[in-house]
């Protein structure tokens, strides 16, 4: 004999791992669990009206033990049917909650927090607002667990669903929520959002990202990968629609007014000065990079490469000197330095030596060399080959 209760439990267990799809109608899709397909089709053999339903809709009725078809439209497998009440939204439901008056004489059953949460989420998901309003035991239990200073029923629901964690960790106000079940980490204040993200970044452990094994795994997985021409075309078209010239211009103006570019510039100058960052080693005129097989270093010019291969005692771009040009702070990266011979060397074409910015750089280098007991030397195309 067909055991409905046992079949229902197995159906619930099986479909809890799968999303509704068109393959549910194909017995082959179930593989060695074809008996689930048979269970669903035989479950309502004694009910002609329910037996005519599609398989996904049958599953909904079986899982929720709904043995009749409501007089409303079916939405989908997850949301079920529309509610028959005139209350069509949670917003209207919370307005109705203000009219609830409890009879102090009557004894209500106190539900556990887990039971309350389960009932609330199920009713909200299936838009069964009337069931929530009319469930006196539920509402009595909510009032029992929620602090007496909370009067708003929407906040009461939040308090139960999120186990009391409903306050912004920065300012203490109620956290922002789009729906009852989706609660943000902070309130709607942008200052709180930034402070919260800043605290996470300071305390979060990112050491695993620097693990050589993980780095290798990530790089190897993307090695040789390239989007198809069709995908690249779609991305370009999408970017054109998203980033219009007007939007770009507006964003640039906004960043200028907020001082974003100035802040970025100051940050990069500080990193360059501290040796944390070195600009890309490309020649500014030819846009080429020169690589030495002897030193295994990239250079900005062939002159620098030639000089370093002949003078390996010098270090390349290890010295930084701050200077001011046109009332703005800059960082001068010296080409070569040798701490033993106390020399710093700049290699520059003779035609560029008289530029005002370069003159300013050279003065700063001479002042630093004089103060630290070094000798500052400028090598041009005329003196480079004669330097010993």
Tokens of residue 22, six digits? 């068109």
Residue 376 has pLDDT above 90, yes or no: yes
Termini Cα distance of the chain: 103
Question: Pairing between strand 177-179 and 182-183?
Answer: antiparallel
**Residues above pLDDT 90, as percent of the chain:** 26
Task: For residues 347 and 366, give the distance between their C-alpha atoms in angstroms, rounded to a whole number.
Answer: 15
**Final residue belonging to a domain, choices 81, 108, 138:** 81
Query: Do 344 and 321 have their domain in common?
Result: yes
What residues have CB less than 8 Å from 20, skipping those under 6 apart? 56, 59, 76, 77
Residue-level pLDDT at 84: 45
The mean per-residue pLDDT over the stretch 210-221 comes to 84
Q: Is residue 211 part of a domain?
A: no
Same domain, 109 and 15: no
Q: Which of 173, 184, 117, 174 is nearest to 145 (CA)?
A: 117
| pLDDT beyond 90 at 208 | no
- Taking the CA atoms of residue 218, residue 219, residue 220 and residue 226 in that order, the dihedral angle to the nearest 10 degrees is 110
CATH number of the domain to which 283 belongs: 3.40.1350.10
Question: Which carries the bigger pLDDT value, residue 246 or residue 101?
Answer: 246
Q: Do 99 and 76 belong together in one domain?
A: no
Structure tokens at 156: 């009461």
Placement of tokens 């549910």 in the chain: 24
- What's the pLDDT at 345? 93
Let me know if residue 69 belongs to a domain. yes
Alpha-carbon gap, residue 220 to 234, rounded angstroms: 26
pTM beyond 0.75: no
338 and 294 assigned to the same domain: yes
Domain membership of residue 202 (yes or no) is no
Phi and psi of 34, rounded to 5°? -60, -20
Q: Are residues 234 and 287 in the same domain?
A: no
Question: Are residues 96 and 189 located together in one domain of the fold?
Answer: yes
Q: Are residues 114 and 43 in the same domain?
A: no
Neighbours of 308 (CB within 10 A): 21
Q: Please report which confidence band the pLDDT of residue 71 belongs to, taking 50, 70 and 90 as the band edges.
A: low
The Cα 287–Cα 83 span in angstroms is: 68
Close Cβ partners of 343 (under 8 Å, ≥ 6 residues apart): 314, 336, 337, 374, 375, 376, 377
Residue 270 has pLDDT above 70, yes or no: yes
> How many domains does the chain fold into?
4
Instruction: Specify the higher pLDDT residue, 369 or 217.
Output: 369
Is the pLDDT at 104 greater than 70? The verdict is no
219 versus 354: the higher-pLDDT residue is 354
pLDDT exceeds cutoff 50 at 136? yes
Picking from 151, 174, 194, the residue at the C-terminal end of a domain is: 194
Regarding whether 132 and 53 lie in a shared domain, the answer is no
Domain end call among 27, 53, 81: 81
Q: Is the pLDDT of residue 91 over 80?
A: no
List Cβ neighbours of 373 (8 Å cut-off, separation of 6 or more).
Answer: 342
- Residue 259 CA to residue 73 CA, distance in Å, equals 55
**Which spans in 4-71 are helix H?**
4-15, 34-43, 48-51, 55-63
Q: Looking at the domain assignment, is residue 270 inside a domain? A: no
CA–CA dist 155, 180 (Å, integer): 9
Specify the 3-state DSSP secondary structure of 233: helix
Q: Is residue 265 part of a domain?
A: no
Residue 208 lies in a domain: no
Instruction: Answer yes or no: do 318 and 247 share one domain.
Output: no
pLDDT given for residue 285 in this prediction: 64
Same domain, 104 and 182: yes
CA distance 211 to 358: 42
Taking the C-alpha atoms of residue 352 and residue 75, their distance in angstroms, rounded to an integer, is 74
Question: 63, 15 in Cβ contact below 8 A?
Answer: yes
Predicted confidence at residue 86, as pLDDT, reads: 60
Q: Extract long-range pairs of 356-359: CB within 8 Å, 24+ residues apart.
A: 356/325, 357/325
DSSP 336-376: EEETTTTEEEEE--GGGTTSHHHHHHHHHHHHHHHHHT-EE
Closest CA to 308 of 327, 290, 323, 326: 290
**Is residue 249 assigned to a domain?**
yes
Q: For residue 320, list its beta bridge partners.
A: 333
pLDDT at residue 108, rounded to an integer: 79
Q: Are 337 and 319 in contact (CB under 8 A)?
A: yes
Query: Is residue 217 a part of any domain in this protein?
Result: no
Indicate if 147 and 55 belong to the same structural domain.
no
pLDDT at 106: 61
Q: DSSP letter at 30?
A: G
User: What average pLDDT does range 58-72 have in this prediction?
Assistant: 80
- What value does the mean pLDDT of the chain take? 85
Give the model confidence (pLDDT) of 142-194 as tens digits: 988 999 888 888 889 899 989 889 999 999 898 988 777 788 889 988 899 99
Which domain range does residue 338 map to?
A: 278-379
How far CA 267 is from CA of 63, 147, 185, 329, 330, in Å, comes to 59, 48, 29, 12, 12
């Amino acid at each position: 004999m067909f055991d409905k209760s046992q079949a229902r439990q197995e159906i619930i267990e099986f479909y809890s791992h799968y999303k509704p799809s068109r393959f549910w109608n194909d017995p082959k899709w179930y593989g060695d669990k074809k008996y689930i397909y048979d269970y669903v089709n035989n479950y309502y053999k004694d009910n002609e009206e329910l037996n005519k339903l599609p398989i996904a809709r049958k599953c909904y009725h079986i899982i929720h033990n709904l043995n009749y078809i409501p007089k409303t439209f079916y939405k989908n497998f997850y949301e079920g049917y529309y509610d028959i009440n005139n209350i069509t939204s949670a917003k209207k439901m919370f307005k109705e909650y203000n009219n609830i008056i409890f009879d102090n004489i009557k004894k209500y059953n106190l539900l556990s927090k887990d039971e309350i949460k389960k009932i609330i989420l199920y009713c909200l998901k299936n838009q069964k607002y009337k069931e929530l309003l009319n469930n006196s035991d539920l509402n009595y239990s909510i009032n029992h667990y929620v602090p007496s200073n909370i009067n708003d029923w929407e906040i009461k629901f939040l308090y139960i669903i999120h186990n009391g964690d409903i306050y912004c960790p920065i300012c203490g106000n109620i956290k922002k929520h789009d729906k009852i079940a989706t609660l943000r980490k902070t309130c709607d204040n942008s200052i709180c959002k930034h402070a919260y993200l800043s605290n996470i970044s300071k305390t979060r452990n990112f050491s695993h990202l620097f693990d050589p094994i993980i780095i290798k795994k990530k790089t190897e997985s993307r090695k040789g990968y390239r989007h198809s021409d069709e995908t690249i075309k779609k991305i370009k078209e999408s970017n054109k629609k998203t980033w219009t010239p007007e939007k770009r211009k507006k964003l640039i103006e906004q960043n200028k007014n907020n001082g974003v570019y100035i802040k970025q510039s100051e940050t990069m100058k500080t990193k360059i000065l501290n040796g944390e960052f070195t600009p890309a080693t490309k020649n500014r005129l030819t846009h080429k990079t020169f690589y030495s097989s002897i030193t295994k270093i990239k250079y900005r010019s062939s002159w620098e490469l030639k000089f370093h291969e002949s003078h390996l005692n010098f270090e390349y771009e290890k010295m930084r000197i701050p200077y001011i040009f046109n009332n703005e702070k800059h960082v001068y990266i010296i080409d070569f330095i040798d701490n033993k011979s106390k020399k710093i060397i700049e290699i520059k074409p003779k035609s560029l030596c008289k530029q005002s910015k370069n003159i300013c750089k050279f003065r700063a280098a001479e002042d630093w060399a004089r103060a630290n007991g070094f000798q500052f030397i400028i090598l041009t195309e005329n003196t480079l080959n004669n330097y010993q």
